[in-house]
Structure 1
């Protein structure tokens, strides 16, 4: 299958540093585990001990024993339901023992005892609600991931005579499925590659993504002319939009940017490119990095906006592509990744710098890992959009 790059370039440490990027677990769960064991009980326990010590060593006009009501509240945000209940009971016991240690005239008394008991009950109830919400969120994220894996099929290694490596990083969008897609389809007329991004998110974007990929896999195998494949993709987008509009839905105006590649059998040192308004591909190799000048085409689904006398499809352009070069395709999650100061990720500059330091970086796996790590560092893990990287090279 397409290799989801996980090694090289410090990728694992970057994911640990930026757990929001491409992982289910929240930052809270990452921070409260040491060597695989939960230490969520430590903060509320330290707070309980701190309140007890301060209350015991201060004067009678500075009683803070009632602050112990904060302990089950902190536990509700960090621990499980049983742990929160245990801290609620422990807080009551600590309050009773510490308060009775003072003379009668300085004791807080029954009203504060009731306050702490009520606070413990509310904290336990809030913890139960929180855990249910987290479980529902994980379930929704699991469904979203299953949907993506169903639509984006796994690709065998060296599929279609190409060495390839792919990276997909979902943005932090509350488990809404994004519209990034890619596929490789070998056939009797050569190997075709498609990378793109459907406008918007959610199930509507997934529906259009599935329609585009299904058409691509069918016609990329059978059609000898890459222009016909491009035409079929445009027609499929429009027919899908007509179907959505007929259903009365409001999301029928979606479109998709995409790059369609053809590795023809009769030209082993070239690649044909059709660009539907997508970021232009890069070619990286021993002689440096070059951007393929393919911009200018309309996205898929917008061809009906032009005049009848104007071609609706972007032209097919052929570029030299040597055996020791890698073609890099990304979605706008890469080029639009922002640093805290607002600057965009300089993709071509970073790839050029890495190739100058080590020409072996041009290999697909290393190149995909380089872009992944660079985007995470540049954006500090705050991805504004789904990020997809696909690097391919002829075998």
Structure 2
């Protein structure tokens, strides 16, 4: 299934530019269709104008055509429409018996209105291009923060679903990452307190620390401590700039090819095990405080072992799933619904969950949604090599 994210799989095309890169923009209506509609409307207006006579002149109504064309067409097409309208108006008034200044006023008004239509079209395309460039930059930034899914390593294949609460953004306050290392595959899924750009900044700091520590540290608890330090440092910087300090609830997992995985829970939701057609919540007995709040906990974080038998999958998610509400205010029954799909493939589970969650909440989301389904890679799937740790990079002394 992979990550549900517009523009993640291909380079986004900028509105206002055609595939060949021309500067005049793309049209929502083809040239042939535009010509046909232009002729039909012109004939209709001219005939009605002839029928009504001088008592009710309708030719001036043609000035709306350049304005309409500026919304849907390119600058070249809009200019052609404007010139056509001027030609029709001038041609219809050459033999006019009306007052001289009435004809001059009509021609002047038509010229000004047509010119404004062309200017409006150029401004629309320029604005759309600027917005598209900003969205393209957001896509590039998003690809640095959250990698597209699925991600395949030696030990696991991670399929996922990611839906920020703000649809015009590609990244929200939820984070995830999957790193292949010489110590196994390390996975993190987390939820940053709050929303908006400050939350994204904290999430980026946590992800950067996790990517380095996942390769460097042999113990999963040490990876969690490294991410903790990064969040604390980011909070210290935020305090200096007047921003609110934030914490991150997170679940860290490590897969080394065994039938059990390691887990360090930092105030996050426990995983769900999908095995033999049954879905069950995994009980974690040692849940520590969220990342960024270790000074309040007083206890060192502890790694626990969780079952990961052959043919099983672990589903991890953020509270955007479990805290979704229906029209009556009831919470989403995740465990009950997962029981219906436990025997399906990871992509099918995610598709069913996405559809059901949308239907349950009536399309109203109150929080970001992030879900990972972690299973063993299938035969034939390409597996990247492990990133070198500090010892491998340093070489012989």
The answer to whether the superposition gives a TM-score over 0.5 is yes
Q: Deviations over 1:289-341 (max 9, x none)?
A: 2234569754322445x4xxx54677655433322221122345555667899
Q: CA 1:111–1:155 in structure 2 vs 1: closer, same or farther (change >3 Å)?
A: closer
Cα distance in 1 between the residues matched to 2:105 and 2:361 = 51
Task: Provide closer, same or farther for how the CA distance between residues 287 and 72 of structure 1 changes in structure 2, counting only shifts above 3 A.
Answer: same
Corresponding position of 2:290:
299
Q: Secondary structure at the match of 1:182?
A: strand
Q: Which of 246, 250, 254 pairs up with 2:246? A: 254
Matched, 1:325 2:321: no
Partner Cα separation in structure 2 for residue 131 and residue 145 of structure 1: 21
SS at match of 1:391: strand
Tell me: CA distance 1:385–1:103, structure 2 relative to 1, closer, same or farther (3 Å).
Answer: farther
Indicate the residue corresponding to 1:149 in structure 2: 143
Task: State the shift of 1:101 in Å.
Answer: 7.9
Residue in 2 that maps onto 1:84: 78
Decide whether the 8 Å contact of 1:99 with 1:109 is kept in 2: yes
Post-superposition Cα deviations, 1:322-365, rounded to whole Å, max 9, x if no partner, equal 2222112234555566789988766545543344xxx3x2x333
Q: CA deviation at 1:194?
A: 0.4
> Alignment partner of 2:265: what SS?
strand
SS at match of 1:237: helix
CA contact (8 A) 1:52 1:65 kept: no
Q: Give 3-state SS (helix, strand or coil) of 1:138's partner.
A: helix
Question: What's the secondary structure of 2:195's corresponding residue?
Answer: coil
| Deviation at residue 376 of structure 1 after TM alignment | 6.1
Q: Highest CA radius of gyration, 1 or 2?
A: 2
CA contact (8 A) 2:27 2:74 kept: no
Q: Structure 1: 5+ residue runs without aligned partners?
A: 30-35
Q: TM-score by structure 2 length?
A: 0.71
Contact 1:51 1:64 in 2 (8 A): no
Contact kept, 8 Å, 2:278 with 2:339, in 1: the verdict is yes
Q: Which residue of 2 aligns with 1:286?
A: 276
Select 1:59's aligned residue among 52, 56, 80. 52
After superposition, the Cα gap between the structure-2 partners of 1:238 and 1:382, relative to the gap in structure 1 and judged at 3 Å, is same
* Change over 3 Å in CA distance of 1:332–1:128 after alignment to 2: farther
The alignment's C-alpha RMSD in Å is: 4.3
Whole-Å separation in 1 of the counterparts to 2:39 and 2:357: 42
Matched, 1:121 2:108: no
What are structure 2's unaligned runs of at least 5 residues?
18-25, 378-397
